[in-house]
Amino acid sequence: MASGGGYRNGNHKSPNLRTSKSKLSPSTSNVRRCSNVSTLGIADAVSGRVRVAVRLRPRNAEELAADADFADCVELQPELKRLKLRKNNWDTDVYEFDEILTESASQKRVYEVVAKPVVQSVLEGYNGTVMAYGQTGTGKTYTLGQLGEEDPSARGIMVRSMEEILANTCLETDSVSVSYLQLYMETIQDLLNPANDNIAIIEDQISGDISLPGATVVEVRDHQSFLELLQLGEGHRYAANTRMNTESSRSHAILMVHIKKSVSEIESDLTGEYDISSHPALNFKPPMLRKGKLVLVDLAGSERVLKSGSEGLVLEEAKSINLSLSALGKCINALAENSAHVPFRDSKLTRLLKDSFGGTSRTSLVVTIGPSSCHRAETASTILFGQRAMKVENVLKIKEECDYKSLCKGLQVQVDKLIAENERQQKSFEDEVKKIRLEAQKHISEAEGNYAEELKEEKLKCQMEYMESIKKLEEKMLNQQQHPSNGITDGTYLGEGQKGFCTEEVTELKKLLHNEIKIRKAAEEETNKLKDQIMKFSEPELKGGNSDIVNLQKVLEEETRQKKRLEEEVNILKSQLSHLTLHAGLIRNSPDRDGNGSLLSGLDSPSPLRHLPYKDSNNGERGAITYLHGQVGLHKILSLLESEDACVQIHAVKVIANLAAEEANQEKIVEAGGLSSLLILLRSSEDETIRRIAAGAIANLAMNEANQELIMAQGGVGLLAMTASDAEDPQTLRMVAGAIANLCGNDKLQIGLRSEGGIRALLGMVRSRHPDVLSQVARGLANFAKCESRSSAQGTKTGRSLLIEDGALPWIIKNANNEASLIRRHVELALCHLAQHEENARDMISGGALWELCRISRECTRDDIRALARRTLGSSTTFLAEMRRIHIEL
């Protein structure tokens, strides 16, 4: 092992355990007791007194070889919780402790009697401290910090404590975080971040609590991550080789575990009906949050320079260790004697342990001793330290506070429920009002119809009676004219008699006319009466007046319009169905050619189609499209893109898209204005199918470099971005992403593609989560990153990647290990190309890309990508420096 400046590896081998051979003399000397010492074990204690256990280390090989007649200086009586220290061959001192652990005591028993009660108290919201004190080489680090990688039964208190904490906390509601520090030469250093080598101690002036705001705090989610943290910290801890111990700790190690545990949930979940008489907040009790802190302290061992042979830096380290332990002993003495002044500020160690001795923490101390009589003085000093520590009383205080964050979250959930319930009731009320209005309107319409029918019948009856009266009068007048001698009898003129008869006729006619007038007036009065009744019936039914009737009429008109629109859509669908059927017939059959050889002319003619044999079923549709192109001509097909019939447009754009898939047709399509027509169609059409096929056709044309510049010049990137933001169909997004991905492979279009929103459109399409869409997005990012890497190598580009500036890096890192191989391959290429530019290295390191690059260089299934990742990491000075800092080998 190196000198005092070297690091220790944290791996300890379990010592050979044996059964104690010491015996208790019948004539024992005076027993030294502490007045407030209880004979109960640590696990049964409930007071705030510091609990002390003694653990005896078995003899090592050096001690066995030194003296064949070796006699232990201590004798243990674990059943009586006593320890006998031999002064000489005939005299011994007897001490009582809370627990006596023999050299054969297992690590599990040590944990259960020393640390488990403290851990349980911490889980209940108290502060707790477990500390190991003793001479160097007596097994303090083995007791506390043994990892147990080779032998699980050798796990120390640190590992077992974390196992119990994780087993009794819920990852969803509770949190567990750790800090790992060392006090070296009166300097507090961070074992998880060695660069943080001078951490200040902050003391709250009001509460007196000690905190280390500069220390690294890491949240622990599982046991394996905690073991990795311990291994990392142990690797940074100072150790040295002395005569007393080959791996002597040269610093005090302090592991702080912070626990936040939720102890109360929302008492009741208001799932019933909303009662306006009770306030929602009254149904909640603030959930309580308990905060506990567990401090595990592995003190460096006290040593005598003459025995350890320390010199140089190791000697200075020994002086610092002994001074800090001496300061701790002074504080223990002052507390045990109830002194008015306790010198906590004499050392940073005592300041850190202020809460553990005389504070609010539940403290357990395990003192480790050796059996050798050569070190009897050190053993006696250690035992006396433990005896004094047992006199220290702590006042345990639970740290419990209201979890207002959880309460706020619960209240927000309740508010959302009440809002939803209110909206449902409001909707139900509006539906009920609408129903009542419709029923009232129906009653009014029925009443108006009934009264109008009765009025019409009454009016018709009056008219008929009037006409009948007129007809009778005319008949009488006609009879009067045809028989003028009615007033002459036997040639004798009647004179006054005849005159009286005429007067009676006139009187009768006047009466009839008067009766007709009365009947008409009565009919008019009846009509007015009916109108009044209609108005009286309307008023109670429609309190809203004419405005409600107008609203109802508007609703009826709107429903009528919707019905017409639906009928139109049905007609359009029927038309599309007929066109699709006709299109399928075109694929399967060859039509009769008329005189001018036009294929499209047969579509409108009623002439039947002749069935021709189908030679190849796989390329039938492509053959039909080629045949259509040859017979009709490209210009005629492009003109159909402007048709008002959406079905015709769909067929036409399908033909263009299939033609654009062949490189031989692309130049002809562009020269004929096909690209412009497709962009116009993409801009103006509202049909999802048309836009999807048009985007696919543009993607096919974008495979040609010359066409890519034309697409950019005509604003095609902006149209594709707009289509991507509006579309939700995965197939449409796949076509748009494919088109933009093809454009990303052109070095000349990088800046323009980004300024017109192409990159942001690609990133926006990941919302679909469809693997085909994500594959095209990943391909586009890989193409863009490759072009940027090429430009940086040629010196035509400086500065950070445009992809990083647009926020693409988090998505790339997240999907670097995607389950879909095609997505993963593109993303891995994008990462490698981004890493080739040195100015991207810092952003990639801070974002976590370095870990993915290391994984790619080791685990990627593609040899070329794996080699590219290794070459990229090896050529970057920034990456290499970071890898050296975190101890990662390429």
Q: What is the pLDDT of residue 61?
A: 75
Does pLDDT of 500 surpass 80?
no
Looking at residue 47, its pLDDT comes to 57
**Whole-prediction pTM:** 0.44
Beta strand 74-77 pairing with 248-249:
unpaired
Beta-strand relationship, 252-262 and 248-249: unpaired
What pLDDT shows up at residue 495?
43
Beta strands in 16-118 (DSSP E): 31-32, 51-56, 74-77, 82-86, 92-96, 99-101
Distance between CA 422 and CA 588 in Å, rounded? 59
Closest CA to 115 of 156, 147, 57: 156
- One-letter-per-residue 3-state SS of 652-706: HHHHHHHHHCCHHHHHHHHHCCHHHHHHHHHHHCCCHHHHHHHHHHHHHHCCCHH
Among 176-180, 211-215, 814-818, the range with the most confident prediction by mean pLDDT is: 176-180
* pLDDT score of 16 more than 50: no
Residue 883 has pLDDT above 60, yes or no: yes
Average pLDDT of the segment spanning 389-398: 90
pLDDT at 153 over 50: yes
Q: In Å, how far from its chain's centre is CA 650? A: 40
Q: Calculate the dihedral angle through the C-alpha atoms of 70, 71, 72, 74, rounding to the nearest 10 degrees.
A: -170
Q: Is residue 623 pLDDT above 80, yes or no?
A: no
The confidence score (pLDDT) of residue 134 equals: 92
- Mean pLDDT across the stretch 353-364? 90
In the predicted structure, residue 241 carries a pLDDT above the cut 90: no
pLDDT-derived band at 505, boundaries 50, 70, 90: low
pLDDT value for 7: 34
Q: What is the mean pLDDT of the chain?
A: 77
For 395-407, what is each residue's pLDDT tens digit?
888 887 766 676 7
* pLDDT category of residue 298 using cuts at 50, 70 and 90: very high
Strand bridging mode 175-184 / 31-32 = unpaired
The pLDDT tens digits for 76-106 are: 999 999 998 887 777 888 999 999 999 999 9
Q: pLDDT for 258-278, tens place per residue?
A: 998 887 543 334 334 434 344
What are the two backbone dihedrals, phi and then psi, of residue 122, each rounded to the nearest 5 degrees?
-65, -40
106 or 602, higher pLDDT:
106
**pLDDT tens digits, 419-468:** 999 999 999 999 999 999 999 999 898 888 888 888 888 888 887 887 77
**Number of residues that make up the chain:** 890
Residue 612 has pLDDT above 70, yes or no: no
Q: In angstroms, rounded to a whole number, what is the distance separating the alpha carbons of residues 723 and 315?
A: 75
pLDDT at residue 136 greater than cutoff 90: no
What pLDDT band is residue 60 in, cutting at 50, 70 and 90?
confident
Say if residue 381's pLDDT is above 80: yes
Q: pLDDT over 90 for what percent of the chain?
A: 23
Which pLDDT does position 388 carry in this prediction? 93
Q: How far is CA 833 from the centre of its chain?
A: 29
Looking at the predicted structure, is the pLDDT value of residue 3 above 80? no
Q: Where is mean pLDDT largest: 519-523, 556-560, 805-809?
A: 805-809
Q: Which residue has the higher pLDDT, 240 or 379?
A: 379
Which band of pLDDT confidence, cut at 50, 70 and 90, is reported for residue 282? very low
